[in-house]
Every structure is written in structure tokens, then in C-alpha cells.
A and B are shown apart, each in its own frame.
Chain A
Amino acid sequence: MSAKTQFHADANVTTADEDRRAFVRRALGGYKVTRAKTESAYASWEHARDVASAIKYEGLNHLDAMLEQFEQQFTARGGKVFWASNSQQARDYILGLARDRGVKSIVKSKAMTSEEIHLNDALEADGYAVIESDLGEFIQQLKHEAPYHFVFPCMHLKRDEISALFEKELGSAKTDSPEELTMIARRFMRRHYLEADMGISGANFIIAETGMISITENEGNARLTCAHPRIHVALVGIEKVLPRLADLALFLPMLGTAGTGQNMTCYNSMYAGPRQPGEEDGPEEFHVVFLDNHRTRLLADPEQRDALHCIRCGACLNVCPIFKNIGGHAYGTTYQGPIGSVITPHFRGLQDWKHLSGASSLCGACTEACPVKIDIHHHLLHNRRNAMKEKPALLEKLLWKAFSWFMNQPRLYAFATRFTPWAMELHPLVKASALDPVQSWTKTRDFPEAPPKTFRQLWAERKEAAK
């Protein structure tokens, strides 16, 4: 099945689940309220967005120099950088490391890049036990299901579903308390932090100036993942650069505010190399894997280059009317929502993924919510245009031509509209069937009823009456 057919089939199922839709909408409504409140404490959120966008622009448009600067600083402190052009190279490197260093168990904190390259599958196929430590990711891992939302992985699940899952997979007692469920995961995870040989993380920012990566989280699982395991591997998209360490003074609060409506996320950690002389703990080895995986393809499109500004806060998903109705899984992508619809065609092929750019009301809520001012909804239009340019739809072109010719023939038009009432009478016979010329509209909607008289008739009558 093509990605498009799959998308339509899945979206049909998820939109019919009104109960789940209401549940997700309620959660996102809560986000909207807290975010608005936190945002209003800024002296100027709008100016902060401009500055953030300018800094990201600076970083991205000097990406080569930024990455080299990072590498130089990071290597000088005993870290190791691996440059991966694609998923295969990244997976092979991490697998090779695990084999080479005699790794037995692996603990992971949240990293969308690892979802992107299907890292867990590769590691598990090789016999490694990989534990997702973020609560939401852990639940999705037990459920053998991809994250629903790249910031809130299990926001679609209700507590009784999670309780049933834990009962089945972990043998815990049934409970309807989110606190108790969290504690079950906490107890389960504890020994893994101490016993794992390898900790795998993502990163929210790459700091060029000082050779650091920055990780933002609420639970403390990433901190624990990077504390005791003797090897730390961070898998990072190359676009995550910030020029200076002090830029975080702007980005850390903005990420928290846009992402979850928090003033700032609970833990914002900066990692500069493995354990240094004189330090009490920390990994012996620290590897940063730079992942390209077609990011350079998007970089080569100046019009949409700013889509790489994305700091993965998820704000555009939270406000998107499409996401609220079809949910995260229907997209069939690693990155859901508006930003996913923009970047996925670049990563995985325009013709296969252009349908996502059509799944938009172009309301612009995403662009407005974006803390780094990515022109998201216009990029959806750019994708549509590019797809059409690359592979013109001849039949559609022909139809438009015929339509414009027809509309320019007043007599023919007048003649044809006389048949409208008859056509309306007959339409119910074929409505929504394959014979219906407007099937894709009438499948889910009623055809508007035609007025008893045409505009031309009304016009003529009025003119007559005025005489």
C-alpha cells in the first residue's frame, strides 16, 4: 500500500474514533491555556521569536563552520564525533561500538533521531536489550507502537489502558492512579540506570562555541542515562546547532514555554565530553553521532531552509486542527503534524509524501505558534507546488483548461445551467458512488441544495420589475 493510501485509510479510522479525539483535544486545550499564561510573562515574546529565528538562521547558514568548531572543541575534551550520511551508517556505528566494547545492556533516553533510523530494532535484532527510560516512550515501547506525538509520546492513552499494559507486561497490580503508574516505571527503571553499559540519548542543541550538547527533559531519565553507563552515545541531527553557549539563555526558556507551557523544563543539562580528570563520575567514552539522513537535501532548498530551524517543541502539532482530528499515528511519519508534513517529503521523497502537504486547512496556526518563526504553512504550499512542477497532473490540467473555456462561453453556460434542477433530482441515485462526478466531496458531505432559480433568472426578473 502506498503511503498515501495508508494515510487515507488510517485517517478514516482515527477520525471516526470520536471519543479518542475528544480526549486528545481536551489535553491540547490544557496546553493552550498554560502556554498563553507563561508566554504573557515574557517582556516581549514576539521579539524573543525574532531573535531566536535570527540565531538559528546564523547557525544554519554557517553550518559547516559550526560543526567543525564543535568537533574541534569536543574532540579536545576527549569526545569522539562520527559523521553519518544515512541511517545505515549511524546504526552500524552504534552497533559496532556496542559489539566492540562488550556492551550487555543499553538504557536510552528520548531521541526522535533514533526513531528516525529505527535504532532499537537494529540493536534488538543483534541481541541487545534496549530500555526506553522516558515514561511515555517506555509505555510506547511496551505497546510496540510508535510515539503518537514527538513531545508527548503517549498522550492518546488513558490511564486504564496504561494500567492494563503494565499488568500484562510487568505483572503489576491494577491501578487508576497516574502517580502509582509512574512509580511502577520508576522502580522498574532504577537498576537499569546503574547496570547498563551504554546510555543512548539525543540532543536538543549542539553548542558550536564550547563543544557541548544540551538535553532538555522533565523526568531526570536523561540525566541518569548519562551518569553511570560507561559509554554515552548521543545521536543528533546536524541542524541542531547554536553558535554560542549563552544563546541557551534564550532558547531554554523558549523551548519550555512553546513545548509544554512551562517556564522552563525541569532539567536542562549541558554535556561537554566524557568524565574529566578530578570528576567523581560520568562515562569513560562519549560519542556524538552527527546524522545527515537527507537534512542536507532540505538545506539545499533556500526557500525552505528555515524548516531546519525547528527545535522540536511540538507547538505546531498542539495547535493544528488536522492533528487534533486525525491524531499522530495517521501521519505514518517519525515527525508528525505540520512540521512533519513539511520535512518528511524532503527526507523520504516528495512524490510519496506530498499528500501530507494537502492535509492542511492552511489556517496558519502552526506558523503563529512556532517559537523560531518557521513559515510552516507556506512551506506546505511550496511542497504542493514543487510536487506538481516535478510531476504535472495532466488530467487535472486538462480539466481546468476545459473549465475555463466553458466559463468563458456565456450562452453555453446559460444553456447548461437550465439542466441543473434535473441533475439535482437525479444526483441522489449516484451520490458518493463511483459514477458520481463529485464523489470525493459527497463521500463525507451532503451536496448543497441548488436554489430554485439561477442568478441569471433572478437578474432578469429584477430588471423586468424595475421597468
Chain B
Amino acid sequence: MSGDRTAILGRIREALRVPAPRHHEKPPAPATTVTAPFREWLPPVGPSHGDRVAVFARLSDVLKTEFIDCPDLAAAAQHLAQLAETNGWQKLALHPGALTDAVAKSLPIAQLRIDGDYDKNALEACDAGLTECECLVAQTGSVCVTTRSSGGRALSVLPPHHIAIASRAQLLPDLTAAYELLAQKYAASGYPSFMCFIGGPSRTGDIERILVLGAHGPKKLTVLLVP
């Protein structure tokens, strides 16, 4: 049963027999060598890796993301251990992965590995969730997670602190590049059932427009960038 499919499509086709006038100007051709769509008009990001890091760091500041540009994996592991200690974590949830395993292997607290089916109540009881990501987006200060790269849908949103770890090559300039990457990885074989751009910890301004962090999702977001 698919409902009123035929009737609705019929009404749409009938309606579209008369063309609508356009209210938009024809978008101008890109003036520079920029060829990918939208780059010409959206907030610009400089060409070098240093520019990307600078923009990502500035936006992290705005979005209340803790952004750490780590010199090596050991430094990232050390920062994670420090977070665990200062925040008094009892249990960390994570998914198996080269980066997650590398920084969490010597962490002296209990760990819940999200691998296949898991107990959602146990995940809810964790103090933090550690994930990898598809990429970081400098233009918007976002972390792109998917079910494929980041241990499912809930790991990056249910625990009160989300730590995302990414390698330097994963820091992309803009959303256009992020969608190019996703298409390249998944268009042929099938997209993950969930993909998300995360910009900072969960927030709300519903009460008197006053910013409150940790509305329903994580109260803190830490991004660790490693070589």
C-alpha cells in the first residue's frame, strides 16, 4: 500500500503544465578558477593546510568546540587521559578503529566497545564517546560522522562528552569537498544510513534566546587532530 500515489502524481503533472516565472537572476559564471559548485558564494577558506587549521580553530572557538592540534598520537592519547582524569570519567564508549584504539589503549578506565549489537542502556551510562570521523570541514567548523566511520548513530550523541579524532589529511576546506569525498566513497557501494555534520556541542536558545550547551546531546565536544 503506497497511499494516494497515482492521484498525487497526477495532480502534480497537471499543475506543472503551465511553467512558472523565474524570480532569480541567472547565477554568474565563476570569475576565478573555482569550478566546484557554491564555493564562489559561500564563506571562503584559504588554499593551504595552515589556512584550514586556522579557520577550523577560529570556528571551534565560536562553536565552543575544544580543538586540539596534536603533534602526534601520543599527545592525543595523553590529552584523552587528562580529560578522563579531570572530568572523573568512569567509563568510555568507543568503536574499534585504528585511531580510536591507538589513543584509548592505555586509558586506565573501563571501556565499552560498540561493535555490532550493543546494550543501549550501557551506552547511556558512559561518560564519554570516542569516535573517528569521515572528515572535518574548516568552512563550517564541522565534524562529519557516519554510521560507517563512527560506530553507529548513537555513540556520538548519547554520552555527555563526544571526542572525535581525525588525521590531518581529513581536514577538508569546505562542504563541497566533504560531499565530493562522501560521493567518492559511497555513491557506488551505497551510502551509510546516517550521516551528520556536527558543529559543536548540543545547544538550545529556546529559553529567552540564551545559549545553553547540552540540550539533549553532548555537553562537550573535543576534536583531536593528529598527523
Contacts and interface: CB of A to CB of B under 8 A. Distances in A.
B12 to A, nearest CB: 5
A152 B2 contact: no
A59 B159 CA distance: 38
Given A264-B197, A280-B116, A249 B141 contact: no
Contact of B175 (A49, A224, A253): A253
Interface string B182-206: 1100010011111111111111111
B27 A296 contact: no
A48 B41 contact: yes
Interface string A215-248: 0001111011011100000000010000001101
Contacts of B178: 249
Nearest to A367: B23
A190 B123 CA distance: 12
A276 B146 CA distance: 12
Nearest to A296: B11
A47 B196 contact: no
Contact of A135 (B157, B158, B204, B209): B204
Nearest to B13: A64
Contact of A253 (B3, B42, B205, B208): B42
A253 B194 contact: no
Q: How large is the interface on B (under 10, 10 to 19, 20 to 34, 35 or more residues)?
A: 35 or more
A279 B38 CA distance: 32
Interface residues of A, number: 106
A305 interface: yes
B142 A264 contact: yes
A250 interface: yes
Interface in A258-286: 260, 262-276, 279-282
Given A68-B9, A373-B23, A282 B15 contact: no
B194 A263 contact: no
Contacts of B158: 193, 224, 227
Interface centre among B21, B26, B141, B197 (most CB of A within 10 A): B197
B217 A267 contact: yes
B216 A133 contact: yes
Interface in A153-204: 153-155, 157-159, 162, 178-179, 181-183, 185-186, 189-190, 193-194
Interface of B: 1-5, 7-9, 11-16, 18-28, 37-38, 40-44, 59, 62-63, 95, 114-118, 120-121, 124, 139-142, 147-148, 151-155, 157-158, 174-176, 178-180, 182-183, 187, 190-210, 212, 214-218
